[in-house]
């Protein structure tokens, strides 16, 4: 065999063998991934816990990438590349692998926080702030592990971060005050995601998220109000979901002085019971009642007390109640008087 041909075959082998190893490991990883996750998905469907679903969803994407990195590492070791190049490739793969594992763990922790908080009254709510903090902590630990694995001492880095952190804290006082105010809101649980609140400045709506800087409030007009966390801890806030979602619905009315007040009470309570039973958002087991309170200028005034399951239900309840009560009063001959103004002509003449 000619020497040139032998050199050519040897060069081809040096390329083909590492490439075959890389492709083989990649194909094996794809097949293993397909079979493994098919069985895992089938198994997770029979469990009530959400933890297995979170782990499967977080690891399914990087699984093939891990096999690709494994194939690249094996191919580099079976190649004729210089030792220092193989060492550099190994370190790069170590960095990528460690970072991908840290990213997967961060996604798992974020998913666990969100899933657990959605069904627990004790855990912190699954808002952006808690999820992002968990991600940052895990990724920070992962970066420190990578740096230490590369042979770089981390003690001077931690000392530098400590001194630099003090300078950053002084420069970002407003940002940090909002961050710690957000933690205070989460820990006290006086305001939670999903609550309907009203600020003393007039803004009201559902709390949709608590981030590192602001609290998002979606108003009934479908607009979003962004309130700095620090400001939210200093204003007067009415939380319509504490101590629970149910709330009294008050409707003020008035009837003519000639009305039979016992009949007015009976008819009004009967209509109110129908509303509680028929209208969505009413509390069927609640017994509505009325309380007379004022001898007005042209009517005897009273308040009807109804009950709604949550804040926004009161609008439909009032709407239907006023319609049905007006119709019933007309049938029963109960008069809701118009405002009356009397003019004393004799007194005017004496002036």
pLDDT digit string (tens) for 248-271?
999 999 999 999 999 999 999 999
Nearest alpha-carbon partner for 63 in 104, 107, 111, 110: 104
Q: What is the pLDDT of residue 217?
A: 93
Select 247-332's CATH number: 3.30.70.100, 3.40.50.720, 3.90.550.10, 3.30.950.10.
3.30.70.100
The C-alpha torsion from 226 through 231 and 237 to 241, rounded to 10°, is 50
pLDDT of residue 122 exceeding 50, the answer is: no
Residue at token pair 């971060």? 161
Token pair belonging to 294: 């004022």
3: left (phi over 0), alpha (psi -120 to 50) or beta: alpha
DSSP at 300? E
The C-alpha torsion from 59 through 62 and 64 to 69, rounded to 10°, is -130
DSSP at 195? -
pLDDT of residue 114 exceeding 80, the answer is: no
pLDDT digit string (tens) for 171-218?
556 777 888 888 888 778 888 888 999 999 889 999 998 888 889 999
Q: What is the pLDDT of residue 77?
A: 73
Residue 213: is it exposed, middle or buried by C-beta count within 10 angstroms (0-12/13-18/19+)?
middle
Q: What is the pLDDT of residue 104?
A: 82
Whole-angstrom Cα distance, residue 351 to residue 346?
A: 9
pLDDT digit string (tens) for 165-178?
555 555 556 777 88
Strand-pairing partners, residue 255, are 300
Q: What is the mean pLDDT of residues 264-285?
A: 94
Contact 50, 1 (CB under 8 A): no
pLDDT of residue 344 exceeding 70, the answer is: no
- Return the CATH architecture of domain 182-239: Roll (2.30)
Q: Comparing 182-239 with 247-332, is the CATH topology the same?
A: no
Residue 113: is it exposed, middle or buried by C-beta count within 10 angstroms (0-12/13-18/19+)?
buried
Give the start-to-end residue ranges of the domains of the chain: 3-163, 182-239, 247-332
Mean pLDDT is highest, among 95-109, 175-189, 294-308, for: 294-308
Contact 64, 30 (CB under 8 A): yes
């Amino acid at each position: 065999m000619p020497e040139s041909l032998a050199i050519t075959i040897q060069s081809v082998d040096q390329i083909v063998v590492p490439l075959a190893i890389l492709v083989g490991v990649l194909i094996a990883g794809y097949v293993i991934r397909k079979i493994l996750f098919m069985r895992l998905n089938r198994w997770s469907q029979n469990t009530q816990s959400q933890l297995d679903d979170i782990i499967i969803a977080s690891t399914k994407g990087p699984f093939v990438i891990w096999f690709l990195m494994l194939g690249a590492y094996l191919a580099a070791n079976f190649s004729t590349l210089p030792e220092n190049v193989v060492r550099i490739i190994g370190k790069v793969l170590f960095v990528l692998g460690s970072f991908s594992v840290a990213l997967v763990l961060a996604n798992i922790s974020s998913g666990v926080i969100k899933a657990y908080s959605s069904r627990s009254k004790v855990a912190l709510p699954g808002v952006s702030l808690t999820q992002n903090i968990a991600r940052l902590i895990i990724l920070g630990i992962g970066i420190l592990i990578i740096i230490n694995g590369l042979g770089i001492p981390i003690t001077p880095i931690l000392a530098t971060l400590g001194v630099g952190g003090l300078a950053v804290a002084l420069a970002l006082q407003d940002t940090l005050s909002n961050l710690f105010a957000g933690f205070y809101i989460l820990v006290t649980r006086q305001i939670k995601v999903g609550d309907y609140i009203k600020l003393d400045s007039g803004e009201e709506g559902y709390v949709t998220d608590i981030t590192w800087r602001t609290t998002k409030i979606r108003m009934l007009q479908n607009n979003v109000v962004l309130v700095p966390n620090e400001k939210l801890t200093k204003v007067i806030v009415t939380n319509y979901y504490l101590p629970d979602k149910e709330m009294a619905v008050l409707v003020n009315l008035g009837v003519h002085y000639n009305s039979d007040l016992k009949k007015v009470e009976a008819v009004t309570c009967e209509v109110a019971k129908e509303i509680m039973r028929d209208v969505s958002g009413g509390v069927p087991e609640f017994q509505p009642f009325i309380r007379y309170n004022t001898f007005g200028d042209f009517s005897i005034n009273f308040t009807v007390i109804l009950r709604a399951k949550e804040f926004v239900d009161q609008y439909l309840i009032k709407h239907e109640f006023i319609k049905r009560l007006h119709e019933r009063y007309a049938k029963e001959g109960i008069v809701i008087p118009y405002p009356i103004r009397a003019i004393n002509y004799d007194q005017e003449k004496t002036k």
